[in-house]
Amino acid sequence: MTGLRVGYLAAPAAISAAGAKLQEPLIACVNAPAQAAALAALRGPQDAVRAMRDTYRQRRDAAITVLEELGIRHLVPHGAFYLWIHLAERSGPDVAAWALELLCTERVAIAPGTAFGPVAEGWARLSLAADTDDLIEGIRRIGGRQ
């Protein structure tokens, strides 16, 4: 269901005025179709949920093993499919610029911590949603960058 709340409107003023009225219930509140989808997800078969939980746990554990081998500090998630990794020693003061360079040169995408506020300076968020082999390769590329 990710992405159901994402979108934009480009329209003439007459239509955008109506869109502005719809914005609040669509953005700030959970809309009816998303509620129905969530209910179906909760009441429906749970095999896929268990399989993905186990897959994410396996990816998390494999990623942590490599991070520890590379000496990269990290926080262990207990419910999210993201890892927080500490990069200040590698990136210098500007993790965002370092992350952009990492994307351009190594083809590895991470979210700089500052996107989540100043408290996350020096950190980056790494998604566990990639295939395990790709995830491990990405972490190794991060570990090879100074």
Domains of the chain, residue spans: 13-43, 53-144
- Cα→Cα distances 5→8, 21, 28, 34, 35, Å: 10, 16, 9, 9, 12
- What mean pLDDT comes out for the span 95-114? 93
Higher pLDDT, 89 or 64: 64
Q: Which fold has domain 53-144?
A: Aspartate Aminotransferase, domain 1 (3.90.1150)
The residue whose two tokens read 């968020």 is: 125
- Evaluate if residue 3 carries a pLDDT over 80: no
The DSSP bridge partners found for residue 127 are 82
Query: 85 near 123, Cβ under 8 Å?
Result: yes
Two tokens, residue 12: 């003439």
SS3 state at 93: coil
- Give the per-residue pLDDT at 94: 87
The confidence band for 25, taking pLDDT boundaries of 50, 70 and 90, is: low
Instruction: Give the integer Cα–Cα distance in Å for 106 and 137.
Output: 10
The confidence band for 5, taking pLDDT boundaries of 50, 70 and 90, is: low
Type of residue numbered 108 = V
Per-residue pLDDT reduced to its tens digit, 27-38? 666 777 878 888
**Is the pTM here over 0.75, yes or no?**
no
Give per-residue burial for 36-60: e unless 16+ CB within 10 Å, then b: eeeeeeeeeeeeeeeeeeeebeebb
Q: How is the beta sheet containing 123-127 ordered, strand by strand?
A: 74-75, 82-86, 123-127, 111-112
